[in-house]
Structure 1
């Protein structure tokens, strides 16, 4: 029986749809929800293999400062994702997702590797972040001392599964292994891990988190007397956490000259930290990027 042209066209389209996932073309996910089984890296690109190995099997896709800017954050176990689309990349299945745990706008979208999650057909219960007691939070912060700085990092021990899912083709040094598995934290990630994901993940949200402590016009000595444990000294792009009236803790990419530790989590005298900040910024009651002057605010969130 002769085959009609419309029938050939339909068969061709069916073949394309069948091959699309294997070719990396986005398609609908099999189920609309997923739950993180373990710490789950969330990237701003679907090209996981290009980030972890740069497809030559041995190179991480880093910026000139050695940071993986593709990493947005690491979702904690129990985090719920809504799946938007699915694509294949070799042995990996990559999902484009959204999640209430990271409600920030994106021009590229957010992506996860399916091996870190389980799928669900109906909405799973939201992850319940339990706010630890203040003493426990401070203990967790202090336990992170010496951890290296990782852009987007909020699990100081990292994600060892990345070595299994994206194995390097060459032996890695200890430092390269640490970078490969995202071992370390950034400034807001330090707080996020210590609070079990209770606090916002980005400094843009921390700027208005909790209640403001009146700080405008105060000297460093006056401001120090107003601070309480777990108060935040924050501006767009960085946050420092007060431990007590003598100490503060932060994670920074570069501490500059005069500090023995180059990067990562460090405890320093609060008076020294305030003096350093106020050489370039002034305390304000409300944060703003104002011409001719940089500000910072104090947020009190733990009551």
Structure 2
């Protein structure tokens, strides 16, 4: 009897989730909104004492996928109760769902709509404005999934208790950038949010077989040196910018500018230039160069 009751309960819950998903409800981010791959949001932010942030040995919240910008549109797939908090399982065109995973957000960050809202209009800044925004980010900490330089202050109000130093507040509110988040922030969300999409973004340059100096001569500001896992952005003929995770070093890394030729040498010590990112195979030792500004506007 208990087994039958459990089966009926599971079936009922599945029906409710299905009905919820088919109701056509949507949500729009009211402000910068953390989107995670786990529904246990209250366990990540604040914890049992309202003072802690769950992170790995490198200080990173691996459950964070990205921070949705205000105006981002979501499709609601399910509702999950977490104590006194309602968590939504969602999809959005701004970010692909991780393979085998799901996306979740705190319902308090969004407003609901019965009909599909229009996608936000996000004009692409000019080339110099994008470059200036990235240069102004130099020194920002590396934050896995981070793409908002100033972080999400709303997290302090919703999850934390007590007082914190300015440095602790920045850490608790996810103030910082990862590699693709640096570009995403500078372009106001007009570029793909992860490197698995950036490897095919814009137009590929013919770089296979070229050496460091020959390759450097081809590059223009905002070209991407990218592989599935990391992206480096060309600032000018002499320098590149990136956000690097340097686990175990003071500050754990962050946004840095390095000489172009030196960085190409470091990359090409273990990776070779490819004209296009391979489809259907796991590429371990390659990189591509993508020119997107002026081709993807």
TM-score normalized by structure 2?
A: 0.87
- Whole-angstrom distance in 2 between the partners of 1:248 and 1:55: 42
Q: Does 1:100 align with 2:93?
A: yes
1:64 is displaced (CA, Å) by 1.2
- Whole-angstrom distance in 2 between the partners of 1:89 and 1:26: 20
1:294 is displaced (CA, Å) by 1.1
Q: 2:185 aligns with which of 193, 217, 221?
A: 193
- Whole-angstrom distance in 1 between the partners of 2:248 and 2:152: 29
Aligned pairs for 1:147-226 within 5 A: 147-168=140-161, 170-226=162-218
Partner of 1:34: 27
- Whole-angstrom distance in 1 between the partners of 2:158 and 2:73: 21
Backbone CA RMSD of aligned residues: 2.6
- Whole-angstrom distance in 2 between the partners of 1:256 and 1:132: 36
1:78 is displaced (CA, Å) by 0.6
Q: Contact (CA 8 Å) 1:233, 1:296: kept in 2 or not?
A: yes
Q: Contact (CA 8 Å) 1:27, 1:85: kept in 2 or not?
A: no
TM-score normalized by structure 1?
A: 0.85
Q: Does 1:145 align with 2:128?
A: no
Partner of 1:83: 76
Q: Does 1:302 align with 2:296?
A: no
- Whole-angstrom distance in 1 between the partners of 2:54 and 2:248: 25
- Whole-angstrom distance in 2 between the partners of 1:31 and 1:58: 37
Aligned pairs for 1:116-155 within 5 A: 116-155=109-148
Q: Unaligned regions of 5+ residues in structure 2, if any?
A: none
Q: Does 1:43 align with 2:36?
A: yes
- Whole-angstrom distance in 2 between the partners of 1:126 and 1:290: 33
Q: 2:244 aligns with which of 239, 249, 252?
A: 252
Give the structure with higher Rg (CA): 1
Q: Contact (CA 8 Å) 2:233, 2:241: kept in 1 or not?
A: yes
